[in-house]
Structure 1
Amino acid sequence: MSGKIRGRPDFLLLFLTILLVGNGLIMIFSASSHMALIEHDNPWYYVMKQGVFALIGLFVMFTFMGIPFTWWKKAAPKLLLFSLLALILVLIGGVNINGARRWLVLGGFNFQPAEFTKLSIIVYLSAIISKKGERIREFRRGLLPILVMIVIILLLVIKQPDFGTMLILFFIAVAILLIGGIDLRHLVILSLGFIPIIIYFAFSKSYRLQRLTSFLNPMDSPQGSGYQLIQSLYALGHGGLTGVGIGQSVQKLFYLPEAHTDFIFAVVGEELGFVGTALLILMFFLFIWRGFTAAIRSYDPFGIMLGIGIIMMIFIQFLLNVGAVTGILPITGVPLPFTSYGGSSLVLCLASTGILLSISRDNNRRRQEATRNSTK
């Protein structure tokens, strides 16, 4: 009977997740209400759509929290196959928005297969590496088949094109391979092989090159490639220490492009100031700390890699988004987890958090059983 008892989840991690989602809904309404009123005659248009995805995501999160995380090891091949088919399908019949073919329309909503691929590749790599064990240190039998699959996925993603997601997938793969015990010599060879490819894709298109270099000196092109970053910095500067107040942002009034999506952090900075952005960053770091703690405490190598892969995914997205908005890193079009408008990203983050919570439940169950057995 004791083997069927599930431990308690990490309630701090759960609380932080709900707090981040709630904050995201508030900021999406604030950032999009004016635009939604003009474009759709309904100031609640975008936040209502995001609210639907939030409910779906929370349902998925609580469902996944109740599923033993080891189940995903068996599901890994099917998840990867679904991702591959979806990535191929989006190239054939996907919706073209702003020159990128990244979305499939399902029931009136846009679904982004590349978002789902982030989770499926984490599950797949964690499952296959934990299964291979020490063989992962062998290049031909251990590493090579994995590299082939990673390359195929990266090529399908960059074909959309989605350079930001390709970077995230690459860093996730490297992190999991490193944790899985890959030979460091192979990791160096892998990096030397992939980095030139990434550089090629970064410089192969003039618009992409402009986006990646404009952050160095946006004033060189204030009405062109530097415009978005300049408006973002204006928003952050206008916010000062405590902000201008919720709903009072000026930059969101069609000055700052993508104010409710990729650049929502700038609106947070303008309306809540340095204090608000610092609190948001603190929430993210607490979330990452709790998720990382749950992962490394797992009794299963698969659970360790799975949990750290999920945390790396969220951390890299957070880093790329905040770095781009503040002018520290190039603009890659990566949304802020839990906060930016976008149903696919929100559902992915909540589903992934559900798996983290399942890992934490298993950790607590095992500790409870160990304590019970030691007292007998």
Structure 2
Amino acid sequence: MKEKAIRKFKQMDWILIATIFALCSIGVLMVYSASLYLSYETTGDFHAFFKRQLIWLGLGCLVFWLASVFSYKAYGKWIKFIMLITVLLLIVVLIPGIGVERNFSRRWIGIGSFVVQPSEIAKLTMIIYFAHAYTKKQRVIENFKQGVIPPLIALGFVFLLILMQPDLGTASLILAACGTIVFCSGARWRHIFLLMGTALFMVLILAVSEPYRLKRITSFLDPYADPDGAGYQLINSFIAISSGGWTGQGLGLSSQKFGYLPEAHTDFIMAVIAEEFGLIGIYVVLGLYITFMIRGFLISRQVDDIFAKLLAIGITFKICIQMFLNLGAMSGLLPITGITLPFISYGGSSLVITLAMAGILVQLSTHRRQKLHVIEKQPIGEHVSI
């Protein structure tokens, strides 16, 4: 038993693990820097947000470890129960008096001084559910009615519950991650294009149906048309980025975080990184995300189990598309969606669930490496069943 544990420890993907914790280290450092002013203004304590993030990071590390040693196959067996709990939480958060309302959105459930965001749990739940469902549907995957449609009904229900909070950004992110799993499941191209077209049309209609969402789109196209209103956040992000230059102003020396840049420690934390560490800091963070993406897609290619493949693809794509949407909004290349930067932005539920996903990815990588290790140890010519 001890030798098996030691061998498994050695077989872990340490490049992936180092990348994940490098991103988390940057995150906790930048949350400390970016939240100092707001933390004092709201709590009277310069370090309140930083201390909360440390607690969440500690919990996230525990969850990461558990996910990295817990067999991924068990998730498929428990997916119905996990789905039930997730849906119940998404319903409970909408109940006045239970759901915590902030900025006209009810997305959190309060637990003492901490809050939990059920939609973050839904991100992981739906990835597991879709990976499991389309693994079971392989025999009828080319049949649109029997193989493709049934899991989409559950996705539509979860999408609607999150939209009622309202949170179109998170709902769309879940839609994209699940859509990627469908794309990689072996479904017919015509079915995929039909679903993609329908999803894009639906999200576009929802994006322009509410005045505040439409303002986000128009401010993204021309933020200077309303510099004191819808374009204010993006303009201050531009100022932060341009102030950083190549090497930045130095750690803690950002000026935009002092009440000028809204959400400096959450949605726009990358703007603070750009101001304090310049283009070099941006390149370092991007390099880490690219490393994560490469390792994730390599894992998805090297595991043999279809469930493991779809799970690795869903997790990797979700984290990478979330990074892409956040950086696109921060730089003015995409509309502002309120999506945080994975591993780095302030936020307990987001950090813990992202680390849970990363732990599952490490577990899948360990499974892959164990298979490769078995192959390498077999005598030449001996058949190996995988």
Equivalent residue for 1:319? 324
Counterpart-to-counterpart distance in 1, 2:64 and 2:368 = 18
Letter in 2 for 1:300: D
Give the counterpart of 2:277 among 272, 276, 282. Answer: 272
Contact 1:134 1:181 in 2 (8 A): no
Matched position secondary structure for 1:374: coil
**205-214 vs 6-15, which moves further:** 6-15
Match of 2:44, as an amino acid?
Answer: D
SS at match of 1:128: helix
Q: Work out the CA distance in 1 between the residues paired with 2:152 and 2:189.
A: 15
Separation in 2 of the partners of 1:329 and 1:354?
30
> After TM superposition, where is structure 1 displaced by more than 4 Å over at least 4 residues in a row?
1-5
Give the Å deviation of 1:106: 2.2
TM-score by length of 2: 0.94
| 1:166 correspondence with 2:171 | yes
Q: What's the CA shift for 1:213?
A: 2.3
Kindly report which structure 2 residues correspond to 1:65-144, keeping only aligned pairs within 5 A, or say none: 65-92=68-95, 93-144=98-149
Alignment of 1:298 with 2:303, yes or no, is yes
What is the DSSP-based 3-state SS (H/G/I as helix, E as strand, rest coil) of the residue aligned with 2:270?
helix
Per-residue CA shift, 1:227-274, capped at 9, x if unaligned?
A: 000000000000111000000000000000000010000000000001
In 1, distance between residues paired with 2:335 and 2:20?
27
Cα distance in structure 1, aligned partners of 2:37 and 2:149: 52
Instruction: Give distance in 2, aligned partners of 1:109 and 1:32.
Output: 17
CA separation of 1:276 and 1:3: change in aligned 2, threshold 3 A: closer
AA at the equivalent of 1:216: L
**Separation in 1 of the partners of 2:312 and 2:255?**
40
Q: Point out the more displaced range, 363-372 or 271-280.
A: 363-372
> Which of 12, 15, 19 matches 1:16?
19
TM-score, normalised on structure 1?
A: 0.97
More displaced 10-residue stretch of structure 1: 220-229 or 364-373: 364-373
Q: Deviations over 1:305-325 (max 9, x none)?
A: 000100011011100000000
Task: Report how many residues are paired.
Answer: 376
Distance in 1, Cα, partners of 2:217 & 2:80 = 35
Structure 1 position 3, deviation (Å): 9.3
Q: Which residue of 1 aligns with 2:199?
A: 194
- 1:192 is paired with a residue whose SS is helix
- The equivalent position to 1:231 in structure 2, one of 236, 247, 251, is 236
Counterpart position of 2:219: 214
1:66-103 Cα deviation digits (max 9, x unpaired): 11211111122221111111111111131110000100
2:291: which partner in 1?
Answer: 286
Shift of 1:179: 0.6
Select between 237-246 and 34-43 the one with higher mean Cα deviation.
34-43
- CA RMSD, aligned part only? 1.6
Q: Quick one: which of 29, 33, 41 aligns to 2:32?
A: 29
Write the letter of the residue equivalent to 2:17. Answer: L
| 1:212–1:332 contact (8 Å) kept in structure 2 | no
- Secondary structure in structure 2 of the residue aligned to 1:245: coil
Compute the displacement of 1:52 (Å): 0.5
Is contact 1:16–1:287 with CA below 8 Å preserved after alignment? yes
Structure 2 distance, partners of 1:113, 1:278, is 32
Distance in 2 between residues matched to 1:3 and 1:143, nearest whole Å? 40
Which residue of 60, 63, 68 corresponds with 1:57?
A: 60
Alignment partners' CA distance in 1, 2:176 and 2:266: 23
Q: Does 1:257 align with 2:262?
A: yes
The 3-state SS of whatever aligns with 1:317 is helix
Are the aligned partners of 1:68 and 1:362 in contact in 2 as well (CA < 8 Å)?
no
Shift in Å, 1:342: 0.3
The 1-side partners of 2:41 and 2:177 are apart by: 40
CA distance in 2, matches of 1:374, 1:132: 37
Whole-Å separation in 1 of the counterparts to 2:292 and 2:193:
31
Distance in 2 (CA, whole Å) between partners of 1:25 and 1:61 is: 16
Q: CA deviation at 1:191?
A: 2.2
Give deviations 1:260-291, integer Å, cap 9, x for gaps.
Answer: 01000000000000111111111111111112
Higher deviation after alignment, 8-17 or 143-152:
143-152
Query: What secondary structure does 2:150 align onto?
Result: helix
1:343 and 2:348 matched: yes
Conserved? CA contact 1:303–1:359, under 8 Å: yes
Q: CA deviation at 1:108?
A: 2.7
SS of 1:182's equivalent in the other structure is coil
1:39-85: CA deviation from partner (whole Å, max 9, x where unpaired): 22221110110110100001010111111211111122221111111
Contact 1:56 1:347 in 2 (8 A): yes
Q: What residue ranges of structure 1 are gaps of 5+ in the alignment? A: none
- Superimposed CA distance per residue, residues 16-43 of structure 1 (whole angstroms, 9 cap, x where no aligned partner): 1111101101000100112212322221
Tell me the secondary structure at the aligned position of residue 42 of structure 2. helix
1:152 partner letter: F
